[in-house]
A and B are shown apart, each in its own frame.
Chain A
Amino acid sequence: MSLASNIFNTSLGRKYLMALSGAGLFGFVVVHMLGNLTIFAGPAAINQYAAKLHSLGPLLWIARLSLLGMVGIHIWAAIKLSSENKRARKFQYEGTIEPVDSHRKSEIVSRYAARTMIYSGLIIAAFAFYHLAHYTWKVPQINGLNNIDFETFYVHDVNAGEKQIAYTTALPEGVGKEGENAVDVYRMVTSGFGVWWISIFYIISVGLLCIHLSHGLSAMFQSIGIKSKASQKLINRFALTAALLLFAGYVSVPISVLFGFL
């Protein structure tokens, strides 16, 4: 078998794919969160940051396509591995897990996050699709706001005398053009998260992502073979800390909007 077919067709090969694509996606969610946090530096900061990203052109497309590739590989491997796992264990035990050393029960029972990886993962995927439709494709029917279309949220950017003002001055409806003017991300986010049920949905989804990562970021080191009893404590602590920090970072935005800080 060739290297590629070994990687795609064997259990351990797919675990490497899972771990590496997961690590790549983790990198993305970290950078994305840092980008989101620029909103706390004011409208100019986040709008400028978004304009910078959009001006990257081909680089942006390379990033988007590799993200899409990683998502594809991650989901493909996840479904494949999970269905094999289901097939490998068709019967569940009738006896509830009660070891004679009762304190060892927690070592034997698999943890919630580990047990639910495929479900947290699929829900994250569904949420990501909704999130793209909401803010990237700007589908007006799903933003929960009557007669408001994010497609009309643009700000002055080019040839403006003073940058600070330029990135915060809204263009009148119908004047801004996709690709020519900077998007008013600040207004989009503050009005978007002003809809309480969208914020709640977002917070729950991010929570699931972080549960996913609390197990995934630790499992990943095992899959690529660099975990050991000696490093396990450190790795688990890293996974938990990263998951909590991500949760705090992401959720701070809708919370601030809901409570009127933004």
Chain B
Amino acid sequence: MNLKLKVWRQDNAEDDGRFEYFEALDISPDMSFLEMLDVVNEGIISDGDEAIAFDSDCREGICGTCSMVINGVPHGGQKGTTACQLHMRHFNDGDTIVIEPWRATAFPVHRDLIVDRSSFDRIQRSGGFISVRTGSVPDANATPVAKENSDLAMDAAQCIGCGACVAACKNASAMLFVAAKVSHLSLMPQGQPERNRRALAMVNQMDEEGFGNCSVNGSCEAVCPKEISLDFIARMNREYGRALLKKGCS
């Protein structure tokens, strides 16, 4: 199949950026979206031009590195699918595809389709961990966890931190990401000692990074490649309220 691409090009964070047009010719419907871009890039490079810069790592939908908005939708809009797992058979011969980077003040564009997501790392560092003594591996089942809690914690832990939630949100809110991280650990016994501190610290860091606020639109949930539920935002709101009452007074 043959496609036209309209791609955001930007040399560095200071550059104003612009759209450029490319042709993607002889694309196999079985290629992934990133493989299609690889083919286009080979053509660009053999013409002696700069390849389209985009992030990717695992290419199997588990690392969260690939990040691009395809026709206005982060990851392209196939249910529960990252851009690297999206296949070209979902497009039609002759289509024009618009490809843009995540758009959020807290995710400045680094180059072309690559954005700087270190704001997520700083949120994670502020409280998305448990402090434990290192040593030998604990015995299995030494710490019992209720089935419902372990299921829910696993659902939250699915978050790969790709940032599609922020990219899709009209307010560039990171609340689905933060909610997943706060919920995941607060549901586990290991997360209890730092439970309140974590909720307060992660929400404060999220605010500091300049993300917007949730206004309950649900776009984040709809584009999330791991289908993280909006329920976790409600849970984070509870966790935060609880933490405020317990710790905020001190």
Contacts and interface: CB of A to CB of B under 8 A. Distances in A.
Interface of A: 1-3, 6-7, 10-16, 81, 84-85, 87-101, 104-105, 107-111, 114-115, 117, 215, 218-219, 221-229
Contacts, number: 173
Nearest to A89: B172
Contact of B105 (A14, A90, A94): A90
Most buried by A among B19, B79, B234: B234
B90 to A, nearest CB: 4
A95 B229 contact: no
Interface stretch (B24-32, B64-72, B123-131, B185-193): B64-72
B215 A12 contact: no
Given A11-B213, A108-B223, A224-B237, A229 B72 contact: no
Nearest to B88: A100
A239 B229 CA distance: 21
Interface in B157-191: 168-173, 175
B21 interface: no
B117 to A, nearest CB: 14
A2 B230 contact: no
Interface of B: 6, 8, 19, 69-73, 76-79, 86, 90-91, 98-100, 103-106, 168-173, 175, 200, 203-204, 206-207, 210-219, 221-223, 229-231, 233-241, 244-245, 248-249
Contacts of B106: 88
A190 B109 CA distance: 60
B207 A11 contact: yes
A178 to B, nearest CB: 43
21 contacts: A6-B248, A7-B248, A10-B207, A11-B175, A12-B236, A12-B237, A84-B212, A85-B172, A88-B172, A98-B72, A101-B77, A101-B90, A107-B222, A115-B170, A218-B216, A219-B216, A222-B230, A225-B234, A225-B236, A225-B237, A225-B239
A3 B242 CA distance: 11
Contacts of A110: 170, 215, 217-219
B173 A224 contact: no
A11 B71 contact: no
A93 B100 contact: yes
Contact of A108 (B90, B219, B229, B235): B219
Contact of B72 (A10, A95, A115, A221): A95
Given A10-B207, A85-B212, A224-B237, A95 B168 contact: no
A126 B19 CA distance: 42
Nearest to B91: A100
Which 5 A-B residue pairings sit nearest by Cβ, starting from the closest?
A99-B77, A95-B98, A88-B212, A225-B238, A225-B237
A114 B215 contact: yes
A218 to B, nearest CB: 7
B237 A89 contact: no
B234 A226 contact: yes
Contacts of A93: 69, 72, 98, 100, 103
A3 B249 contact: yes
B77 A85 contact: no
Nearest to A227: B234
B203 A10 contact: yes
Contacts of B168: 108
Contacts of A224: 237, 241
Nearest to A94: B98
A12 B203 contact: yes
Nearest to A102: B77
Contacts of A108: 73, 77, 168, 219, 222-223
